Amino acid sequence: MRGELVTPTGASLLVALIQPQKMGEFPSEPWIIDKTGVGAGTRNPPEYPNICRLMVGHVQNVIKVNMPANLLDTTLSVLECNIDDMTAEIFGYVMELLISHDQVLDVWFTNIQMKKNRPALMLSVLCKPEHEKAVLEILFRETSTIGVRRRKVDRLALDRSLSKVQTRYGEVNVKCAFLNGKIINVAPEYEECKEIATKLKIPLIDVMDSAKCAGLGLYPNMNNL
């Protein structure tokens, strides 16, 4: 690249008005563009357009909502890819493979319509940011995708505990969730309840109801159900 890219006056203004480490970056907070200016230089270099654009704006006031106490606020990653050339058997296998990894928090499919009127599935994976590499390796190795989208999401979750309870059918692990000091959800472990129901040849709902009642009994002073 030959020639002067910026005048001394322009460089001085940039140094005085902008933090050098943030040049070229948009504010992380929501902001509104007030004015936009675009100027073209007299030279016409073949390597790049000789155009400068300046945007002036202000940070938008964000209304803060008072959230319930004891919520777990975490930043997670969502990795997604659109696939229209895989069989249902492979989709099912990939989901089972992802769920079996401790790094993966959730996996789901979304029906979508792609180019050339092709029905397809969007494969979405929720994980912690530090586990993105392991998930990406699975997606690229086990699926036909050649590109994966990545975005950060904020998750607000209830405080919870995992306990083993004794039911009339046997021991079952239950997950109890709390909000403002009250227990508002009891979820028995499905696979354990399914195993008991299959072994004893009884309705699954009976096993799950029994485990749920036992879970509520762990916190008699916090029962809000």
pLDDT at 97: 96
Averaged in consecutive runs of 10 residues, what is the pLDDT profile of the chain (225 residues)? 72 74 64 87 80 80 63 92 96 96 94 92 96 96 96 91 94 92 91 96 97 88 62
Write down the pTM of the prediction.
Answer: 0.65
Residue 34 tokens, joined: 């007030």
Separation CA 223–CA 225 (nearest Å): 6
pLDDT at 199: 96
Tally DSSP H helices, then E strands, for the chain: 5, 9
Among residues 96, 181, 88, 192, the alpha carbon closest in space to that of 138 is found at: 96
pLDDT at 68: 67
User: What separation in angstroms does the CA of 208 have from each of 172, 200, 204, 215?
Assistant: 9, 14, 6, 10
pLDDT at 12: 82
